[in-house]
């Protein structure tokens, strides 16, 4: 009897499992290809010995990906929102100066923030991450 019960339970599990797996499992998220292209551009154009890079704007997954993709550079995420892994976005020139001194950052790249407002001493790579387009490099 125990073996019969076991076989029934296993068969029910198989049927439910096969049915669940045959159903669509949510929507596939949009491709990250445009963001990957822009990270590849930053990787190719910003020196690897640039100790820190400022990511201005963007979202959390983009920051995680940038931090991974741009190793050995350290990516510091400046977020207009109060994000857990982010640093508050400076609001005035004095704050920018202190941040740049503290992080030794020479370069910045941005999504959704006007690059002219970012005073990185080495240059700012401004990219529309949603479309993966390189907008401007300011020196």
Partner 1 sequence: VIALRLALAHLLVLAAGDALAIRAGVRHRATRFALAIALGALATSAVIFFESLIFEGHVSALTVAPPLLLVASIRPRPGLRPRLPGTLEVALALPLFGLAAANAGKTLATELRGDAANVWEIKAGIAFEARGVPASHFEDDSRAFSHREYPWLVPLGECWLYFATDVRDADVAKSFFPLVFAALLAGFFGAAARRLDRPTAVLATIALGTVPLLVHTAASSYADVTLAMFSMLGAIHAAEWLASGRTSDALLAAALGVGAAWTKREGVLALGLVTATFLGGRLAGRSALESRRALLALVALALPLLGTWQLVLSKHHVRAEDFGAFQPGRLVPIAKLVLADLALPDQIPRVWGVVWLALGASLALRAWTSDRLVFVAFALVPIAVLPLAYAFSTWPSWQTHVGTSLNRILLPQVPTALLALVATQERRSARTTGRAGT
Secondary structure, 3-state, the chain: CHHHHHHHHHHHHHHHHHHHHHCCCCCCCCCCHHHHHHHHHHHHHCCCCCCEEEEEECCHHHHHHHHHHCCCCEEEEEECCCCCCCEECCCCHHHHHHHHHHHCCCEEEEECCCHHHCCCCCEEEEEECCCCEEEEEEC
Nearest to 91 by CA among 78, 101, 103, 102: 78
Q: Does 31 bind partner 1 (CB under 8 A)?
A: yes
> According to the binding rule CB under 8 A, does residue 138 interact with partner 1?
no
44 binds partner 1 (CB under 8 A): no
Our CB check for partner 1 shows the closer of 6 and 136 to be 6
The CB density around residue 70, as the number of other CB atoms within 10 Å, is: 20
Give the range of 18-26, 104-112, 119-127, 131-139 binding partner 1 by CB under 8 A: 18-26
Check residue 32 for interaction with partner 1 (CB under 8 A). Answer: yes
Select 18 or 44, whichever has its Cβ closest to partner 1. 18
Under rule CB under 8 A, residue 40 binds partner 1: no
Binding partner 1 (rule: CB under 8 A), the pick from 68, 81, 97, 104 is 68
CB of 16 to partner 1, least distance (A): 5
Q: Applying CB under 8 A, which residues contact partner 1?
A: 2-3, 6-7, 9-14, 16-21, 25, 29, 31-32, 61, 63-65, 67-69, 71-72, 74-76, 84-85
């Amino acid at each position: 009897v125990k073996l019969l019960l076991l076989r029934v339970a296993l068969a029910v599990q198989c049927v439910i499992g096969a049915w669940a797996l045959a159903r669509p499992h949510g929507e596939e998220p949009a491709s990250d290809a445009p963001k990957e292209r822009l990270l590849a551009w930053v990787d190719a154009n910003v020196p690897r010995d640039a100790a820190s890079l400022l990511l201005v704007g963007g979202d959390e997954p983009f920051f995680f990906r940038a931090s991974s993709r741009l190793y050995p550079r350290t990516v510091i995420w400046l977020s207009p929102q109060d994000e857990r892994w982010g640093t508050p976005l400076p609001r005035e020139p004095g704050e920018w100066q202190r941040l740049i001194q503290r992080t030794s950052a020479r370069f910045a790249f941005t999504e959704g923030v006007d690059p002219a407002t970012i005073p990185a001493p080495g240059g700012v790579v401004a990219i529309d991450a949603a479309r993966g387009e390189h907008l401007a490099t300011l020196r």
